[in-house]
Amino acid sequence: MEYFAKHYDVAVIGAGHAGIEAGLAAARMGVSTVVFTITADWVGNCPCNTAIGGTSKGTLVKEIDALGGEMGLATDHTMIQSRMLNLGKGPAVHSPRAQVDRRDYSAYMKNTLESCENLDLRQSEIVDLKQREDGTWELKTKLEAIYTAKCVIIATGTFLRGRVYVGDVAYDSGPDGMFPSIELSDALHKLGITTRRFKTGTPSRANRRSINFENLEVQEADEKLVRFSHDKSFTPENKAVCHITYTNDETKKVILDSIDRSPLYNGQIEGVGPRYCPSIESKIMTFPNKERHQIFIEPCGLNTQEMYLQGLSSSLPEDVQLKFLRTIPGFENIEVIRTAYAIEYDCVDPTTLKPTLEFLDFPGLFGCGTFCSSSGYEEAAAQGIVAGINAALLVKGEPPFILDRASSYIGTLIDDLITKNLTEPYRMMTSRSEYRLILRQDNADLRLTKYGYELGLIPKERYDEVCEKQRLIDEELERIKSITIAPSEELNALLVSRETSPMKTGVRLIELICRPQLSYDDLAPFDSTRPDLPDDVCEEVEIEAKYEGYIRRQQAEINEMRRLENKKLPADIDYTSIANLRLEAQEKLNKVRPENIGQASRIDGVSPADISVLLVYFRNYN
């Protein structure tokens, strides 16, 4: 029998990476919050790789931390190996990545939710959702408890009508053998929310003792460990190594001989998978001439023998998986703990959302994470914190919080989701940001901490530290522009050894730093007035000095973009009534309902000519 349980300001459905950040942000902003999860033992689960960060994703984690989120802290506290990717390239693509202890990460996040003021964690499956006449939302659990909330955030991950595929075997399931969420999907359809099917997959996990590491490549951690969070009260440690092996022609033959048994190729799976994280059978079918594919062997934690085989995602039958695994060097006698599988799930078209991640047609209802057609833990968490912030602001009656493309990777991610016609799970990449030289992982705190402070998610002491860091950077940049370094035998010897021209007269220090062969630290012995500065300040000074011209040019592009962003469009425009707009543009604009000219210009199917029409309309409207 149904019974009324409790009323909250914000209810979050799901306690994965998106739901955690959404719930914590809302609660920390002072509104009563509940986070529902099907299984409380798997809060913050990493059902795929036990790694946080990586190319572009590391920047997202740094930005989440700068706004007051939890992912960076959890990563630092549970890290077992740290690496900075792309160090051979420019700073715009430097990306921190960390292996975490899977169970420790989950335990850390569960305890954080349990300890958070204004937040209740509930193990309950939500089976029905509807909006009452007064605008509040009613949620019903499997056990027939009724909860009400002013705002609801859906963060269901791959659980929503989840279905697992392993060869000919298919069954309803969430990730890692957990229960799926079936009835909630039906409830969304009753509301009038259309869903679609996407899919993802995960590799086998193997027992460490069955792997022969003797001839495998060792992937050590970086000597210099990079933090994901602001917290310097403890020192993360590198405690594990990873290994690398490769597939071969025999692996390829085993897979091709059984390709007709793959659900991806025999028509069983209808959902679209992520292009940038394909299964091993997809790699072999797509790149038939490639001799081998790289496989990373990564520990799932320090207190388990389970090893993650990155690069071997598959939905082939279990017997075929075991057969092709044993063709790979080091895996000749491998014993599998968890079989690889593909999982298909329901998600929504994110163009039905506002930049706040609130649904256009359902006030008070938000979506985030995999539910919004994205892929990845970091993308989910980034959306989660934005959804949680905006749900809390809506409850408080305060203006929404929107990050634009020039402010952050988070802003780029959300803008892409709500404007692009996505046909596959969205993954963040550095190439998706046209302002990546400014939006670096190293300056995320300088860019976003002020917003976290204004929202009440960052304490004043931490904000003051960031302001002081910016002051030191600005002062040092001014100093290196004004100081002149005189030539000397020692300095010229350094210059010649670095294959750059020696000096004949005095040169401004910034000009020397700008030489690609030299670094800020290289010149320290010849700079008698250099102050003693923290390492992170020195890093920013060098980057800002070396890329000053490029940064200035990109800032000009940002200023032009923001000029268009400031041209607001009324929410109730009927675009079919605007003369000279093409039919496709009318349809897309009416569907997305952009908030400004800038957003309209990024919608697939809206041409520059259509934007010119809107600019004319804008001038007449105002």
The token pair at 516 is 């690609």
- In the chain, residues under CATH classification 2.40.30.260 are 205-341
For residue 10, give the nearest of 30, 2, 189, 18 by alpha carbon: 30
Reported as a single tens digit per residue, the pLDDT across 198-239 is 999 999 999 999 999 998 999 999 988 889 999 999 889 999
What is the model's pLDDT at position 127?
Answer: 98
Centre a 10 Å sphere on the Cβ of residue 60 and count the other Cβ atoms it contains. Answer: 32
What percent of the chain lies above the pLDDT cut of 70? 100
Taking the C-alpha atoms of residue 280 and residue 294, their distance in angstroms, rounded to an integer, is 10
Report d(CA 612, CA 607) in Å as an integer.
9
Distances (CA, A) of 458 to 64, 69, 72, 122, 448: 12, 9, 14, 26, 10
- CATH 3.50.50.60 in the chain: give the residue spans: 3-201+345-455
CATH homologous superfamily, domain 3-201+345-455: FAD/NAD(P)-binding domain (3.50.50.60)
Map tokens 């990717």 to a residue.
85
Q: What is the CA radius of gyration of the chain?
A: 26
Neighbouring C-alpha atoms within 13 Å toward the C-beta of 520:
23
pTM: 0.95
* pLDDT tens-place string over residues 263-298: 988 888 877 777 778 899 999 999 999 999 999 999
Sheet strands side by side (includes 217-219): 217-219, 242-246, 294-299, 306-310, 205-207, 336-338
Helix (H, G, I), strand (E, B) or coil at 87: coil
From CA 51, how far away is CA 78, in angstroms rounded?
10
Nearest residue to 204 (alpha-carbon basis) of 305, 51, 339, 341: 339
Residues of the chain with CATH 1.10.10.1800: 482-553
CA angle 380, 279, 202 (to 5 degrees): 50
Q: What is the pLDDT of residues 115-142, one digit of tens each?
A: 999 999 999 999 999 999 999 999 999 9
Per DSSP, the residues of 570-622 read: -TT--GGGSTT--HHHHHHHHHH--SBHHHHHTSTT--HHHHHHHHHHHHHH-
Residue 608 pLDDT greater than 90, yes or no: no
H helices of 483-530, in order, are 489-497, 509-513
pLDDT in tens, 481-540: 999 999 999 999 999 999 999 999 999 999 999 999 999 999 999 999 999 999 999 999
Class of domain 568-621: mainly alpha
Return the pLDDT at 570: 85
The pLDDT score that the predictor gives to residue 235 is 87
| Helix axes 57-67 and 409-419, enclosed angle (nearest 10) | 110
pLDDT at 57 over 80: yes
Lowest mean pLDDT: which of 63-67, 99-103, 596-600? 596-600
How far apart CA 314 and CA 437 sit, in angstroms, is: 36
Q: Per-residue pLDDT averaged across 5-13, rounded? A: 98
Task: Give the model's pLDDT for residue 202.
Answer: 94
Query: Helix (H, G, I), strand (E, B), or coil: what is residue 35?
Result: strand
Tokens of 211: 């792997």
Q: What confidence tens digit (pLDDT) does each residue in 444-485 have? A: 999 999 999 999 999 999 999 999 999 999 999 999 999 999
Contact assessment for residue 263 and residue 170, using Cβ atoms and an 8 Å cutoff: yes
Q: What is the pLDDT of residue 622?
A: 58
Single-letter amino acid, residue 443:
N
pLDDT of residue 265: 87
pLDDT over 70 (residue 443): yes
Q: Do 448 and 64 contact (CB within 8 A), yes or no?
A: no
Nearest Cα neighbor of 167 from 201, 197, 207, 196 is 201
Residue 332 and residue 317: Cα distance in Å, rounded? 19
Residue 621 is predicted with a pLDDT of 64
Quote the pLDDT of residue 480: 96
The answer to whether 373 and 426 are in contact (CB under 8 A) is yes
pLDDT tens, position by position, 532-576: 999 999 999 999 999 999 999 999 988 988 888 888 888 888 999
For 287, list phi and psi in degrees, rounded to 5. Answer: -120, 70
What is the spatial distance between Cα 96 and Cα 75, in angstroms, rounded to a whole number?
Answer: 11
- DSSP-derived secondary structure letter, 350: G
**Secondary structure (3-state) at 206:** strand
Q: Report the pLDDT value the prediction gives residue 580, as an integer from 0 to 100.
A: 85
Q: Contact at 8 Å (CB) between 71 and 381?
A: yes
Give the model's pLDDT for residue 264: 85
* Per-position b or e across 514-531, b if 16+ CB within 10 A of its CB: bbeebebebbeebbeebe
Q: Please state which of the ranges 4-13, 503-512, 573-582 shows the lowest mean pLDDT.
A: 573-582
CA 186/CA 209 separation, integer angstroms: 45
Report d(CA 367, CA 13) in Å as an integer.
Answer: 10
User: What does the mean pLDDT of the chain come to?
Assistant: 94
Which residue spans of the chain are classified as CATH 1.10.150.570? 568-621
Return the residue matching tokens 């163009």: 351
Please give the average per-residue pLDDT across 21-40, as a whole number.
Answer: 98
> Is residue 202 a contact partner of residue 341, using CB atoms and an 8 Å limit?
yes
Angle at 405 between CA 404 and CA 406, to 5 degrees: 95
Residue 378 tokens read as 């970091």
pLDDT for res 546: 94
Q: 107-132 burial, b if ≥16 CB within 10 A, otherwise e?
A: bbbbebbeebebbbbbebbbbbbeee
- Residue 63: pLDDT band (50, 70, 90) is very high
Question: Cα-Cα-Cα-Cα dihedral of 587, 591, 593, 594, to 10°?
Answer: -80
What is the per-residue pLDDT across 328-366, written as a single tens digit (0 to 9) for each?
Answer: 999 999 999 999 999 999 999 999 999 999 999 999 999
Distances (CA, A) of 348 to 87, 139, 196, 368: 37, 19, 6, 10
Q: Are 124 and 143 in contact (CB under 8 A)?
A: yes
Cα(550)–Cα(97) distance, integer angstroms: 27
Which CATH code, of 3.40.50.720, 3.40.50.10190, 3.40.50.12240, 2.40.30.260, is assigned to 205-341? 2.40.30.260
What element of type H or E holds 11? Answer: strand 3-13
| Residue 165 and residue 279 in contact, taking contact as beta carbons nearer than 8 Å | no
How does pLDDT run across 368-427, given as a tens digit for each residue?
999 999 999 999 999 999 999 999 999 999 999 999 999 999 999 999 999 998 889 999
Pairing of strands 242-246, 341-348: unpaired
Per-residue DSSP letters for 402-422? ---TTT-HHHHHHHHHHHS--
128: helix, coil or strand? strand
Q: 594 to each of 25, 150, 571, 609, how far by Cα in Å?
A: 26, 25, 8, 17
- Residue 228 in tokens: 């994901």
Report the alpha-carbon angle 520-523-529, nearest 5. 95
The conformation of residue 92, written as its DSSP 8-state character, comes to G
Percent of the chain with pLDDT over 90: 85
Report how far residue 439's alpha carbon sits from residue 441's, in angstroms, rounded to the nearest whole number. Answer: 7
Using the Cα atoms of residue 58, residue 62, residue 67 and residue 69 in order, give the sign of their dihedral: positive
Topology of domain 482-553, per CATH?
A: Arc Repressor Mutant, subunit A (1.10.10)
Dist CA 246 CA 297 (whole Å)? 10
